[in-house]
Amino acid sequence: MIINSKLSASNHAFSHSPIHPFTHPLIHLLKKILIPFAIFFIAFFIIGCTTKITPVFVTIKSPKIKISDEGFLKEGFGYKEIIIYKAGNVPVKFLLKQNQICVNKKCFNKYLFIKHYFKGYKKNFFDKILSKKPLSLKNIQKIPEGFIQKTQNITYIVKKNSVLFKDKKKHIIIFIKYLKEKG
């Protein structure tokens, strides 16, 4: 009987031990490290997989920019990027983020960029063209696979495979033709 009381006392000591298998300091540390890492990895994987790359032919002509050639439109989480390969020269990259536009890694506030290169337009002007959205809610005429917006000086035509913005008064043309992928 004495042996049993010692056994039960020793079992009782283990049952109230402060180191329980699920509260062991090593497991607690692993939880603190592995859970944030797993969340980061999953988010990075999802964001990385949502990037869409489309081959395009782009013409951008204004009094301060003149460029026309093939390239790519990359659309990802929180950004759009146009990469234009000018006949073997260094490519021109336009990166549009929420509040800035970068041209070959030199970044500008969107409002200042639009004011400098496309005077008189709202700061989301370039975003709307790349997203194929109406510039305003006025003068929208539906056509098969798109729409047309016209004013006295501006023609904006959005179709399934192309976007054309033309301002006769300010001498601005933005044309994007979405090319079919080869293969």
| Tokens representing residue 69 in the block | 């050639």
Quick one: pLDDT band at residue 7, thresholds 50, 70, 90?
A: very low
Domain span at 7: 2-39
| pLDDT value of position 83 | 93
CATH number of the domain encompassing residue 99: 2.50.20.10
| pLDDT value of position 120 | 85
The answer to whether the CB of 64 falls within 8 A of the CB of 116 is: yes
Say whether pLDDT at 8 is over 60.
no
Do 87 and 161 share a domain, yes or no?
yes
Do 71 and 149 share a domain, yes or no?
yes
Lowest mean pLDDT among 6-20, 56-70, 77-91, 94-108: 6-20
| Average pLDDT score over the chain | 81
Say whether pLDDT at 93 is over 80.
yes
User: For the residues 90-108, what does the mean pLDDT come to?
Assistant: 91
| pLDDT value of position 30 | 62
| Tokens representing residue 37 in the block | 């890492």
pLDDT in tens, 110-157: 999 988 888 888 888 889 999 999 998 888 999 999 999 999 999 999
Q: Which residues pair with 95 in a beta bridge?
A: 81, 102
Do 33 and 60 share a domain, yes or no?
no
Residue 6 in domain: yes
Residue 46 in domain: no
Residue 140 in domain: yes
Amino acid at 40: F
Closest to 174 (Cα-Cα) out of 113, 145, 132: 132
Do 17 and 57 share a domain, yes or no?
no
